[in-house]
Amino acid sequence: MFFIIHALDKPDHVQSRLDGYADHKAYLSSASIKTLVSGPLLADDGETMIGSFFLVEADKKADVIKFNANDPFAKIGLWQNVSIHQFNKRVDNRDMGTPA
């Protein structure tokens, strides 16, 4: 099953995000569930990071909740609000054979 994680940072926590990035990246590469797409959400200026988006694949929502709770960003209290929802992919126009 696919799940979306939408996480918004606490205001003025860009430096916390930058400080925790290496641990966050290492965690994603070794996590027990598969991250299909992830990246920072940006403010209207197109540069300031204000949150995170993940499209993940897991057997059940409980696995995604655990994955998110163990993320170093969660552990340092970066996120103000996190929403996790099952996702029913109907259209995918990406060429999966070409790296981004």
What are the structure tokens assigned to 97, written together?
A: 């054979």
Condensed to tens digits (0 to 9), the pLDDT of residues 20-48 reads 999 999 999 998 899 999 999 999 999 99
Pick the closest to residue 32 from 84, 71, 6 (CA basis).
71
In this predicted model, what pLDDT tens digit does every residue of 53-75 receive, in sequence order? 999 999 999 999 999 999 999 99
Cα–Cα distances in Å, from 72 out to 16, 20, 47, 55, 84?
A: 11, 7, 22, 18, 17
Question: Which domains, from first to last, does the chain contain?
Answer: 2-87 (3.30.70.1060)
